[in-house]
Amino acid sequence: MATCYGPSMCLWPKPKTPSSFTNLSFPLFPLPSFPHRKPDTISFSSSSSASMDSALSNEVAQDLSPYLKIYKDGRVERLSGTDVVPTSLDPQTGVECKDAVISAETGLSARLYIPKTKITTNSTKLPLLIYYHGGGFCMGSPFCAYYHNYLTTLVAEANVVAVSVDYRKAPENPLPLGYDDSWAALGWVQSHIEGQGPEEWLNSYADFERVFFAGDSAGANIAHHMAVRLGHEGLVGVNLKGIILVHPYFWGSEPIEGETDVVENRARAAAIWRFAYPTTSGADDLLINPGKDPKLSKLGAKRVLVCVAEQDALRQRGWYYSDLLRKSEWGGSVEVVESKEEDHVFHLNNPVGDNAVALLKKIASFLNQDI
């Protein structure tokens, strides 16, 4: 199994002052309820200077528990979502997974899934789903139980091949690196279109005429931008049929119709974005506000499914995004599905709930609509 990149303890450029983060308080909307575990420990030498360094290193610049802590020496400690589920053939779903290193230089990797027991009886190639996980651009991975279990269930329900991308995470790898990694992953996937790529599963089982991008929260944001970039720049041999955006993380400096205008919430949403992307132009950066993107109509898929939750602070942004697409020159079809009495990423926090099961089936139906 490939190494799980993005360890729970890592270094990033030291903030100029601890106050750089004092206005940030998680969460504006619930982040995934990643399984918690005891944080990693770091060993220091026994010298007096090392002892002094050790004392300094334990000073916290910003405590974002239960998600992460940032120390004054520049370390980032992730408190959850760092577990690694071993690759295996799941006996309940018949789904098998394996890990792949896309770029040893950058640490970009992915987890691949196939519906193993169905493939053995059907030689027809299957739709290919490229998935980008959520977590505010700074948490989670394809290898943690939270996303591993969801992709396993989705692959079984939809009967697709899936590639779950482990893009580098903020703050030690600030945006736009996560977008760059996500595009690089698509280039790696593309290398398999003639059956000569490094991963036999993609060579043998993936149908590049039926490709989909999907993601939740920050991952939905990434999936959208990958579709726009594909439509603008092209990706030879990859036929993007549709994208699925679940509770997409979009924002803007001005409230939109139906959006709760709470000053604290708005400031917090902007702060989360700036935390992940310190050099951003702000809440109207086209990467967070699709209404400011002149290339929106270039979105390279003709079908879009937007999933929103009634109690989600980002609910109206999902509806607004669908309106933007309809009013643009894009020309495709967009559908919005709203889950009543549910909050952000509820389907991941309670995957066996009735609404979560209904959402899973809806997504599976969207993936198989053209079959």
Is the distance from CB of 139 to CB of 68 less than 8 angstroms?
Answer: yes
Contacts of 290 (CB under 8 A, 6+ apart): 224, 250, 296, 321, 324
Distance CA(25)–CA(77), nearest Å, equals 16
The answer to whether 247 and 312 have CB atoms below 8 angstroms apart is: yes
Active site residue 103: no
Q: Beta partners for 132?
A: 165, 215
Q: What number of CA atoms fall less than 13 Å from residue 99's CA on the CB side?
A: 21
Dist. CA 84–CA 161, nearest whole Å = 21
Helix or strand (DSSP H, E) at 270: helix 263-276
| Cβ count near 26 (within 10 Å) | 19
Collapsing DSSP to helix, strand or coil, 309 comes out as strand
β-strand pairing of 75-78 with 68-71: antiparallel
Neighbouring-strand partners of residue 308 = 338
Paired with 130 in beta bridges are 163, 213
Q: How far apart are the C-alpha atoms of 254 and 265, rounded to whole Å?
A: 12
Selecting among 8, 80, 217, 339, the annotated active-site residue is 217
Closest C-alpha among 256, 254, 226 to residue 242: 226
Q: Spell out the residues 6+ positions from residue 345 whose beta carbon is closer than 8 angstroms to its own.
A: 30, 31, 32, 134, 216, 217, 246, 247
Backbone angles phi, psi at 296, to 5 degrees: -55, -40
Q: Is the distance from CB of 316 to CB of 259 less than 8 angstroms?
A: yes
Q: How far apart are CA 266 and CA 316, in angstroms?
A: 13
Q: Supply the residues annotated as catalytic.
A: 217
